[in-house]
């Protein structure tokens, strides 16, 4: 079955950097687009970034554009999110999600990793 | 950016009642809209995609309708496990966006 396991979250000071990873299994990783979605404590869902199956296309939310970079290693079945110049408003649980149908929706989700930006 | 506005923010109903949740888009998203359910401490679950198609394993009491800018999620007869937060999401334009959520609570 599809498994997505995020890691790399933690506490970081404003202006700092963090790299999140999402290890995938149970499907042919290189065939599917993947997303990062975040949820601030007690708040709603916010889409963050998307990468196409072959890494050729990437899209970002305006709130993270220029600061976050999505990437993937299809040989390691791993998705990444490099987060630079972090702000307190980036504090959230970060989920990776698979677009299993190819329709642009989030069919499978990981359990998330918490990022806290605080001094 | 397309803004999705859900209403109401909170809906208080009893088991067995019918629930109607609304999602309005700031511009047309055609039928490229999904609904998700999220229970406390859990990850979101895809319920409906492309406005009216139930995802795999979703009970028939859940149905979606609408196109363009106005969409509805209907739960025909509420079960105790249906009380949760529901989000709509559009994939018509980048950036993809979510609505702010509707909390369905037990009356």
Contact at 8 Å (CB) between B42 and B59? no
pLDDT of residue A57: 94
Candidates B43, B50, B87; nearest CB to A109: B43
Cross-chain residue pair A95–B43, CB shorter than 8 Å: yes
Shortest CA distance to B29 belongs to which of B90, B89, B73?
B90
Predicted pLDDT of residue A101: 86
Percent residues over pLDDT 70 in chain A: 100
Chain B residues with CB under 8 Å of A59 CB are: 94-96
Confidence of residue B10 (pLDDT cuts 50, 70, 90): very high
The stretch A44-51 carries a mean pLDDT of 96
pLDDT tens-digit map of A57-94 = 999 999 999 999 999 999 999 999 999 999 999 999 99
- Residue A104's pLDDT is 87
Answer yes or no: is pLDDT of B61 > 90. yes
Smallest CA–CA distance, residue B80 to chain A, in Å, is: 22
Contact list in A for residue B95 (CB cut-off 8 A) is: 47, 59-62
- Which of the 8 DSSP states describes residue A29? G
Residue A53 has pLDDT above 90, yes or no: yes
* A44 vs B contacts (CB less than 8 Å): 85, 87, 98-101
| Pick among B1, B43, B55, B100 to test the A interface (most A CBs inside 10 A) | B43
Assess whether pLDDT exceeds 90 at residue A11.
yes
Region A98-113: mean pLDDT is: 92
- What is the Cα–Cα distance from A43 to B9, expressed in whole angstroms? 12
User: Tell me, what's the pLDDT at A102?
Assistant: 84
pLDDT tens profile B78-103: 999 999 999 999 999 999 999 999 99
Three-class SS state of B14? coil
Dist CA A48 CA A46 (whole Å)? 6
pLDDT computed for residue A89 by the predictor = 97
B23 at interface of A, judged by CB pairs closer than 8 A: no
């Amino acid at each position: 079955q599809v498994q997505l396991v995020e890691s790399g979250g933690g506490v970081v000071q404003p202006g700092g950097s963090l790299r999140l990873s999402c290890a995938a299994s149970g499907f042919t990783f290189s065939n599917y687009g993947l997303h990062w979605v975040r949820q601030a404590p007690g708040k709603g869902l916010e889409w963050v970034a998307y990468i196409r199956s072959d890494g050729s296309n990437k899209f970002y939310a305006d709130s993270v554009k220029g600061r976050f970079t999505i990437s993937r290693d299809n040989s390691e079945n791993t998705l990444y999110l490099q987060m630079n110049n972090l702000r307190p408003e980036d504090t959230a649980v970060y989920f990776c999600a698979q677009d299993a149908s190819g329709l642009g929706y989030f069919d499978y989700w990981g359990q998330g990793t918490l990022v806290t930006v605080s001094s | 950016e397309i803004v999705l506005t859900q209403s109401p923010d909170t809906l208080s109903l009893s088991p067995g009642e019918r629930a109607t949740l609304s999602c309005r888009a700031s511009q047309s998203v055609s039928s490229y809209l999904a609904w998700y359910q999220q229970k406390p401490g859990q990850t979101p679950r895809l319920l409906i995609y492309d406005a009216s198609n139930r995802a795999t394993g979703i009970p028939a009491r859940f149905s979606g309708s609408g196109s363009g800018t106005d969409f509805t999620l209907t739960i025909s007869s509420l079960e105790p496990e249906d009380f949760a937060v529901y989000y709509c999401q559009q994939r018509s334009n980048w950036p993809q966006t979510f609505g702010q959520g509707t909390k369905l609570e037990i009356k």
